[in-house]
Amino acid sequence: MTLTMTGDIKIRWNLEHMTGDFLLEDNDLETDEGLGNAVLVSVFTDRRARKDQRLPDPTTDDLRGWWGDTYSKTFNDPDGSHLWLLEREKTEATVIPRCEQYVNQALQWMIDDGVVNKIEVKAFRLREPGQDMLGFRARMWRLGDVEPSVDLKFDNLWTATFDEGE
């Protein structure tokens, strides 16, 4: 197998197993020139909860978090999102702005590091009341782009459709 890589190794989301994995394409690892991987890792890595935040499981004191934050060179700059705090929440009106806040917070590093110059996040409820689910859409623009460079829609926080315009 020859390994010719440009960009990042692409993460393919497996809805059936609820996992991300690497795939081979023409005997090479699939690569990603876009921002899709960065969004997936940023949004679906668990950011450590603060002690004042309500946990989904009140019987535990597990604040989660990514072990790599322990070794971060930038003080108080954790990776990931707090979306996991919404796991057992009902999709009431108060949850929608929290979802948007958590996703924006997870993706803010892209603006800070100059990867993109604009991020737009919109959370929404799907289905009818009683069976509704929370979803969101994240769109990012690179400098000079008129159309979004990446447009991701997460239908229930776990299924995603990607449109990477490059």
The pTM of this model reads 0.74
Do 23 and 79 reside in the same domain of the chain? no
User: Is residue 61 in a domain?
Assistant: no
pLDDT recorded at residue 119 = 96
User: Is residue 97 in a domain?
Assistant: yes
Summarize pLDDT for 84-116 with one digit per residue, the tens: 898 888 778 888 999 999 999 999 999 998 989
Per the structure, the count of domains in the chain is: 2
User: Is residue 64 in a domain?
Assistant: no
Do 127 and 145 reside in the same domain of the chain? yes
Separation of alpha carbons 12 and 133, rounded Å: 23
pLDDT recorded at residue 33 = 63
Do 110 and 28 reside in the same domain of the chain? no
Do 47 and 81 reside in the same domain of the chain? yes
Separation of alpha carbons 66 and 49, rounded Å: 11
User: Is residue 166 in a domain?
Assistant: yes
pLDDT in tens, the chain (166 residues): 334 435 677 777 665 666 777 777 788 877 766 677 788 888 888 898 888 888 888 888 888 877 766 666 666 667 889 898 988 887 788 889 999 999 999 999 999 989 899 999 999 888 766 667 888 999 999 888 888 888 888 876 545 444 444 4
39: containing domain = 35-51+74-166
- Nearest-10 Cα torsion for 108, 163, 12, 88: 60
Do 155 and 103 reside in the same domain of the chain? yes
Separation of alpha carbons 24 and 54, rounded Å: 41
The distance in angstroms from the start CA to the end CA of the chain is: 28
User: Is residue 69 in a domain?
Assistant: no
Tell me which residue of 87, 142, 149 sits closest to 117, measured CA to CA.
Answer: 142
CATH number of the domain at 100, please.
3.10.450
Is 46 within 8 Å of 64 (Cβ atoms)? yes
Do 137 and 147 reside in the same domain of the chain? yes
Do 82 and 115 reside in the same domain of the chain? yes
Separation of alpha carbons 37 and 8, rounded Å: 8
pLDDT recorded at residue 28 = 81
Instruction: Please list the residues that pair with 124 across neighbouring strands.
Output: 135
Is 10 within 8 Å of 25 (Cβ atoms)? no
pLDDT recorded at residue 6 = 52
